[in-house]
Amino acid sequence: MHLTSDDRKDLLAIARTAVYEKLCQREFTVGASRIRGNLALQSGAFVTIRNQAHLRGCIGYVVSEQSLAETIAEIAVKAATQDPRFMPVSPDELDEITIEISVLSQLELLTDLGSIIIGVHGLYLEGEYHRGLLLPQVAVENAWDAERFITQLGKKAGIHDFHLHYPDVQVYTFTADVFNEKSTGQRN
């Protein structure tokens, strides 16, 4: 999926409006007129909320059966109010937060550690008892190489001695179209 700059701006506006309405204790639904073109397609996505440089929430879906517009509205609210690592975003923070969206590509099975391109690939681990995902930007933000990226993915999924060919676990790569309010000129 190739998102246009208008698509990105629309998704960020949907996310911010959904969070605003939730914090004001009002219902929000994405109107049918906003579910068009790429925004009508189904895709996995994540919404990350920061206040200054501090993470305030990040939630998403690897795959979704809703339109991208509806998925973004839902996960934006969850990132702001239901990330168990943080207190919910308060109405007083609305002017201070920045929203970032990552729209995911299809998953591809990873068989060779050398095929991971840092800054391009994200990683998803799935097994009977373990799941974990790291977005492409996480490796860059932490200056990880491919081996460290895989190790950290395992830790996130609860496997502390993880390696690529761990039994009964599959690792997938994906790419993401990552954009935020600052990159689109919607926030200062």
- Quote the pLDDT of residue 184: 61
Residue 187 pLDDT > 80:
no
The reply to whether the predicted model has a pTM over 0.95 is no
**CA–CA gap between residue 155 and residue 84 (Å, rounded):** 17
Is the pLDDT at 188 greater than 50? The verdict is no
Q: Does domain 5-104 have CATH number 3.30.700.20?
A: yes
Fold held by 108-174: Dna Ligase; domain 1 (3.30.1490)
Q: Does residue 44 or residue 53 have the better pLDDT?
A: 44
For 90-119, write each residue's pLDDT tens digit: 999 999 999 999 999 999 999 999 999 999
Candidates 64, 74, 59, 60; CA nearest to 43 is 64
Give the pLDDT of residue 185: 64
- Alpha helices by DSSP H, listed for 34-101, are 68-81
Give the residues across from 127 on adjacent strands: 169
Token pair for 92: 């007083």
Span 164-182, pLDDT tens digits: 888 899 999 999 999 999 8
Per-domain residue ranges of the chain: 5-104, 108-174
Quick check: helix, strand or coil at residue 185? Answer: coil
Asked if 5-104 and 108-174 have one fold, the answer is no
CA 48 – CA 116 distance, rounded (Å): 23
Q: What is the rounded distance in angstroms from the CA atom of residue 170 to the CA atom of residue 29?
A: 36
Q: Report the first-to-last Cα separation within the chain, whole angstroms.
A: 28
Say whether pLDDT at 71 is over 70.
Answer: yes
Is the Cβ–Cβ distance between 34 and 17 less than 8 Å?
no
How far apart are the C-alpha atoms of 2 and 94, rounded to whole Å? Answer: 29
